[in-house]
């Protein structure tokens, strides 16, 4: 069942940013004090030094939830995006890229004091791991007065990025988003974003998951950090008690979906060479959420997620290059 006219399958709300990507065979990210495969936050005064240390770069739109929304659009889904950019070249490119895919955007424009458009410096190691240094800038200045209900009211699912919690005003904005979603019967989905983000905001996340979240998306380390448990099995027991639909991505091991009849594992799509893992989780979320919005059961939806994740890891960058809709139709998933 496709959403009706003027309805949207998914609206995302997250940190709007550009990715600045380099292949980093020599792992120079170590000299910058970064931890392999993790994301760290940097300030505006560090931007030049980080850029200077990078090899040749490729630049494209990014932002975890924005990537997922681009994925939904690439699958042929109707979708929306709420975020904040500055009135600069990066902000214009971010807006252009989503709009040109048919995404309905509701982007607040930051004041000069709120900073420049966010950007993420991505270092790809030879083993396809990504190490990231993120300047949040304008992206994280989303305030309660920036949130309008139009897109949320029309959406089957409202998808919230955990990273938004990194600045206090955004927390209130998230509260408003959740209230709008409840008012308009839009399912609330939450991405835990990253293990360190979970550690920074564990209490807030737990509260949100307990009282407001219908669908929880996480990877293995994030879900363990949220519940402070050592095993995935224990995490799933707690998920069952909470009664939320949860999916845990496990890289090459696929994804585990917590359903009413227990945990079901969905295999990862086999690919020849993994070039860049950047975007794998985001694209999984795209397929999973779009599947749910169309009324698929969670396991079918996870299969669509695996297909999307499998495409994005075969090339540099976190957004799809191939025709995802065609791939999904050929695989019998759309």
- Binding-site ranges for a copy of itself (CB under 8 A): 22-23, 25, 51-52, 54-61, 70, 89, 93, 96-98, 100-101, 126, 275, 315-317, 319, 321, 323
In this complex, which beta carbon is closest to a copy of itself, that of residue 22 or of residue 219?
A: 22
Q: How far is the CB of 116 from a copy of itself (least distance, A)?
A: 12
The closest alpha carbon to 146, from 119, 109, 179, belongs to 109
* Ramachandran assignment for 332, one of left (phi > 0), alpha (psi -120 to 50 degrees), beta (any other): left
In this complex, which beta carbon is closest to a copy of itself, that of residue 6 or of residue 100?
A: 100
Q: How far is the CB of 127 from a copy of itself (least distance, A)?
A: 13
In this complex, which beta carbon is closest to a copy of itself, that of residue 113 or of residue 272?
A: 272
Sequence-distant (≥ 6) Cβ neighbours of residue 46 within 8 angstroms: 133, 135
Q: How far is the CB of 218 from a copy of itself (least distance, A)?
A: 27
Answer whether 152's CB lies under 8 Å from 184's CB. yes
Q: How far is the CB of 282 from a copy of itself (least distance, A)?
A: 14
Specify the 3-state DSSP secondary structure of 120: strand
In this complex, which beta carbon is closest to a copy of itself, that of residue 60 or of residue 177?
A: 60
Answer whether 96's CB lies under 8 Å from 88's CB. no
Q: How far is the CB of 225 from a copy of itself (least distance, A)?
A: 32
In 17-103, where do the E strands start and end? 17-23, 39-41, 57-62, 79-85
Helix/strand/coil (H, E, C) string of 272-318? CCCCCCCCHHHHHHHHHHHHHHCCCCHHHHHHHHHHHHHHHCCCCCC
Sequence-distant (≥ 6) Cβ neighbours of residue 325 within 8 angstroms: 74, 75, 76, 334
Answer whether 142's CB lies under 8 Å from 16's CB. no
Q: How far is the CB of 251 from a copy of itself (least distance, A)?
A: 21
In this complex, which beta carbon is closest to a copy of itself, that of residue 88 or of residue 237?
A: 88
How many Å apart are CA 237 and CA 190, to the nearest integer?
19
Helices vs strands, H then E, count in the chain: 12, 14
- Both structure tokens of 298: 């969670």
In this complex, which beta carbon is closest to a copy of itself, that of residue 68 or of residue 219?
A: 68
Q: How far is the CB of 242 from a copy of itself (least distance, A)?
A: 37
In this complex, which beta carbon is closest to a copy of itself, that of residue 6 or of residue 273?
A: 273
């Amino acid at each position: 069942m496709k959403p009706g006219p003027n309805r949207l399958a998914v609206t995302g709300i997250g940190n709007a940013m550009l990715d600045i990507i380099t292949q980093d065979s020599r792992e120079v990210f170590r000299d910058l004090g970064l931890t392999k495969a993790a994301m760290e936050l940097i300030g505006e005064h560090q931007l030049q030094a980080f850029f200077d240390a990078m090899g040749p770069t490729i630049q494209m739109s990014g932002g975890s939830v924005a990537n997922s929304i681009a994925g939904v659009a690439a699958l042929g889904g109707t979708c929306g995006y709420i975020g904040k950019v500055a009135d600069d070249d990066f902000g214009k490119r971010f807006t252009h890229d989503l709009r040109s895919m048919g995404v309905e955007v509701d982007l607040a424009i930051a004041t000069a004091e709120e900073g420049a458009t966010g950007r993420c410096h991505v270092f790809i190691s030879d083993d396809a791991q990504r190490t990231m240094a993120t300047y949040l800038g304008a992206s994280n200045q989303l305030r309660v007065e920036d949130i309008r209900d139009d897109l949320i009211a029309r959406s089957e699912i409202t998808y919230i990025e955990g990273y938004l919690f990194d600045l206090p005003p955004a927390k209130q904005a998230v509260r408003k988003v959740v209230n709008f979603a409840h008012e308009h019967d839009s399912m609330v989905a939450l991405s835990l974003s990253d293990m360190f983000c979970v550690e920074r905001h564990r209490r807030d996340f737990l509260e949100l998951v307990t009282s407001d979240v219908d669908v929880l998306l996480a990877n293995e380390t994030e879900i363990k950090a949220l519940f402070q448990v050592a095993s995935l099995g224990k995490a799933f027991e707690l998920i069952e008690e909470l009664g939320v639909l949860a999916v845990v991505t496990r890289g090459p091991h696929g994804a585990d979906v917590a359903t009413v009849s227990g945990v079901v594992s969905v295999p990862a799509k086999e690919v020849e060479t993994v070039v860049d893992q950047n975007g794998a989780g985001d694209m999984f979320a795209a397929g999973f959420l779009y599947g749910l919005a169309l009324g698929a059961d969670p396991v079918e939806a996870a299969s669509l997620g695996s297909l999307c994740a499998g495409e994005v890891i075969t090339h540099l960058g976190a957004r799809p290059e191939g025709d995802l809709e065609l791939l999904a139709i050929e695989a019998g998933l759309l």
